[in-house]
């Protein structure tokens, strides 16, 4: 199992977390393989996937040190602990649950709770959350990142929901440290087209790099 800071570093370096909501374990595995080929740093297996715990366990063993496997749609500390024992290296939640953050800190595992307000961001940081999942991102668009980082420049924000190839650069330029991409990247799995997923993952990573360079060059 990787060190907490290694996991966070790899996620921030790539900037892409792929949110997997598959119909079955086999589909989840094929999406993971496709995303690995495309250069994604992390896969988030959501607990809406049938047999999610088993999927995480199998992927964690098969792709150890190749791609980071995390658990998503975690609603409580009990599920978080099960996911960690199965090999998940980070935990993502759609909302802020204090006990889940405490559990992750206890075992020194990155926790990414869902937030949407300045109050939520401050509370999550006070509890020791590492990267804050701005969710649902499509509710406000990239401007929400810039708005939050105005008074809270120290916040590490990762939008999820509404992130696409067309706007990923805007999210990064607004100040996101990474993005969570789901359906906009993995939709072709429904038709068995995994090559497109690899191609899109590669394009996402490239656009993130380009946006970071532009941001650094502009000094914003």
pLDDT in tens, 35-87: 999 999 899 999 999 999 999 999 999 998 899 999 999 999 999 999 999 99
Confirm whether 44 is a catalytic residue: yes
Domains and CATH numbers, the chain: 4-213 (3.20.20.70)
123 catalytic? Reply is no
CA distances from 59 to 64, 73, 112, 164 (A): 8, 17, 20, 25
> In the prediction, which pLDDT does 218 show?
84
pLDDT of residue 1: 61
Question: Which of 4, 133, 173, 207 is labelled catalytic?
Answer: 133
Instruction: Look at residue 15 and give its three-state secondary structure.
Output: coil
- pLDDT digit string, tens, across residues 186-219: 999 999 999 999 999 999 999 999 999 999 988 7
Length of the chain: 220
Q: Tell me, what DSSP letter sits at residue 93?
A: -
Check whether the bond before 49 is cis (ω within 30° of 0): no
The beta-carbon contacts of 86-89 under 8 Å, at least 24 apart in sequence, are 86/53, 86/54, 86/56, 86/57, 86/60, 87/1, 87/56, 87/57, 87/59, 87/60, 87/61, 88/45, 88/56, 88/60, 89/1, 89/2, 89/7, 89/60
Q: Which of 33, 44, 58, 89 is catalytic?
A: 44
Contact between 156 and 134 (Cβ < 8 Å): no
Tens of pLDDT, residues 104-128: 999 999 999 999 999 999 999 999 9
């Amino acid at each position: 199992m990787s060190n907490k800071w290694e996991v966070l570093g790899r996620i921030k370096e790539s900037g892409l977390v792929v949110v997997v909501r598959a119909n079955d374990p086999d589909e989840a595995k094929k999406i993971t393989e496709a995303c690995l080929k495309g250069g994604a740093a992390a896969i988030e297996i959501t607990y809406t996937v049938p047999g999610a715990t088993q999927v995480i366990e199998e992927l964690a063993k098969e792709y150890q040190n190749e791609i980071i496997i995390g658990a998503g749609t975690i609603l409580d500390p009990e599920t978080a602990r099960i996911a960690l024992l199965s090999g998940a290296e980070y935990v993502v939640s759609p909302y802020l649950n204090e006990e889940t953050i405490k559990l992750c800190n206890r075992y020194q595992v990155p926790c990414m709770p869902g937030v949407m307000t300045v109050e939520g961001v401050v509370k999550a940081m006070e509890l020791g959350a590492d990267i804050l999942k701005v969710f649902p991102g499509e509710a406000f668009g990239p401007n929400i990142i810039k708005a939050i980082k105005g008074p809270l420049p120290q916040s590490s924000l990762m939008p999820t929901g509404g992130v696409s190839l067309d706007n990923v650069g805007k999210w990064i330029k607004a100040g996101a440290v990474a993005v969570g991409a789901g359906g906009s990247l993995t939709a072709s799995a429904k038709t068995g087209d995994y090559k497109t997923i690899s191609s899109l993952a590669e394009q996402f990573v490239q656009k993130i790099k380009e946006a970071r360079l532009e941001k650094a060059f502009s000094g914003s």
